[in-house]
Amino acid sequence: MTARKMVRVRFAPSPTGSLHIGNARTALFNYLYAQKAGGKFVLRLEDTDEARSRRDFEIEIMESLKWLGIRWDEGPDVGGDWGPYRQTQRVELYRELASRLVSEDKAYPCFCTEEELAVRRKEQMKKGLPPGYDGRCRHLSEQQRLRYLAEGRPYTIRFKVPAGEEVAFDDVIHGPISFSSSAISDFILIRSNGMASYNWAVVVDDSKMGVTHVIRGDDHISNTPKQILLYRALGLVPPLYAHHPLILGLDGKRLSKRHGATAVSQFKREGYLPETLVFYLVGLGGIVASDGPLKGMKEIVEDFDLSRVSKGAAVFDHKKLLWINGRFIRELPTEILVHHLRPFLEMWRVSERLESAKIEEIVACGRDNAQVLTDFKPVFDIFLDSEYTKREIFGDEEKGKTRNILEIFSESCKQVKTLDEGGYVQVAKSAMKRSGFRGRPFFMTLRRALTGVDHGPELTKIIPILGKEEVLARLRRVLEKL
């Protein structure tokens, strides 16, 4: 029996923007695969586009991954035995291996300028031919090549695509896919600025980092034959490929800002839970039923099977996400909910004004009506902001009824020691009887007098948290204003 190779997968974002949920889904699939297989998950930064790559995006991407609960075994921040983990630090390696291919006559320097290429591309288009490099520099004589080099002309290194080769691979998600190498023109390995092209850097890195499975979006399927040809040229066996469908908006177009939030950090700011995104993104791939029982990362790992990821496009529905978020808010343990609320509590200056036990009580009070974490703001306001009693919250025509209800309710409070849920129910019953008001008119009056607004959590939950003293104080202030 041959020993099976340890599974090594990687997530390779370009730090040119925030972490898009489409990429988060790619990261998640890789992470889940590694977890399930007991393998390693590598984070590699593809920062070769120096003009667009930014440090703050790197930080944001890593923060977003961590927030989602995705951890990497090796990466630019944690190191590892197969580094460096950022492409700008691997430039020498790309050049060295490209030179090797040149010396083996599998690649060649190309001196065509951007302008020349643009003119030829136009001609090709005019003639209805597919655009692609015409192979001109492949046929330069050794003499010409040496002369151009001696003249110091800038050049790229192009791969000599072998003609008439069949490039087939068995995609874990899509099944067998095959291309003919004749459809591929000689492509660039090293740009004239010395940087590696995407396809070259990926192959060098994946092979040098021992990557066994490449799991990525299916927008990369057309790159795969090029990459396989490069593996062959290097005398290496390519990894296994799994291309998952991209996420589309409800209109069938690729998910973009037009559809609403797309960055993981933005969902976080809008009050979504990481549990929701993980569950939903995996659900989009068909691994968990999004209206079935909620699952956390551990259970999702257990259920994970890459070959079950659906081949069809994943359609992103913000309404469904919102609904799932509401379910998680209701079902997660309160401490976890409070943990996720921390940044908001800081921002709303709640943490400095309330002790944790009180915060937990208020969170428990508001969770039934919340869909996003920002829905907790008005709930905290109920307890922290009693300024509303200074406003006219009742119209002239309501004043008589209101005074009657509030006076009797305050009076009835004296019958009970504390306004816990039982105490409140008893007081409310007796006040309804004595005032002659019941149902909506009674409760609406009481609610507005105690909170300043007409909606919010159940009074049976609010009143015990306010406590008897605060309830009486608020009612007194409202009565004074009537």
The one among 36, 121, 208, 220 contacting ligand GLU by CB under 6 A: 220
13 near ligand GLU, judged by CB under 6 A: yes
20 near ligand GLU, judged by CB under 6 A: no
**Catalytic site residue from 257, 390, 414, 429:** 257
Between CA 207 and CA 239 the distance in angstroms is 8
The one among 9, 12, 172, 363 contacting ligand GLU by CB under 6 A: 12
- Total residues contacting ligand GLU by CB under 6 A comes to 7
Q: Which is nearer to ligand GLU, 72 or 380 (CB)?
A: 72
Q: Which is nearer to ligand GLU, 242 or 393 (CB)?
A: 242
Report, in Å, the least distance between residue 242 CB and ligand GLU: 11
Strand 213-217 and strand 240-244: the pairing is: parallel
Q: Which is nearer to ligand GLU, 42 or 446 (CB)?
A: 42
Around 305, how many Cα atoms within 13 Å sit in the side-chain half-sphere? 5
216 near ligand GLU, judged by CB under 6 A: yes
208 near ligand GLU, judged by CB under 6 A: no
Beta bridge partners of residue 241, listed in sequence order: 214
Q: Which is nearer to ligand GLU, 121 or 220 (CB)?
A: 220
Contacting range for ligand GLU; rule: CB under 6 A; set: 12-20, 68-76, 137-145, 229-237? 12-20
Q: Which is nearer to ligand GLU, 14 or 369 (CB)?
A: 14
Q: Which is nearer to ligand GLU, 29 or 380 (CB)?
A: 29
22 near ligand GLU, judged by CB under 6 A: no
Report, in Å, the least distance between residue 209 CB and ligand GLU: 12
Residue ranges in 136-165 that form contacts with ligand GLU under rule CB under 6 A: none
From the number of C-beta atoms within 10 Å of its C-beta (0-12, 13-18, 19+), residue 441 rates as middle
Report, in Å, the least distance between residue 198 CB and ligand GLU: 7
Q: Which is nearer to ligand GLU, 120 or 220 (CB)?
A: 220
**Is position 468 annotated as part of the catalytic site?**
no
Report, in Å, the least distance between residue 191 CB and ligand GLU: 16
Report, in Å, the least distance between residue 111 CB and ligand GLU: 28
46 near ligand GLU, judged by CB under 6 A: yes
Report, in Å, the least distance between residue 49 CB and ligand GLU: 9
Report, in Å, the least distance between residue 345 CB and ligand GLU: 35
The one among 7, 8, 9, 14 contacting ligand GLU by CB under 6 A: 14
202 near ligand GLU, judged by CB under 6 A: yes
At CA 20, angle to CA 14 and CA 24, rounded to 5? 85
Residues carrying an active site annotation = 257
Residues near ligand GLU (CB under 6 A) are 12-14, 46, 202, 216, 220
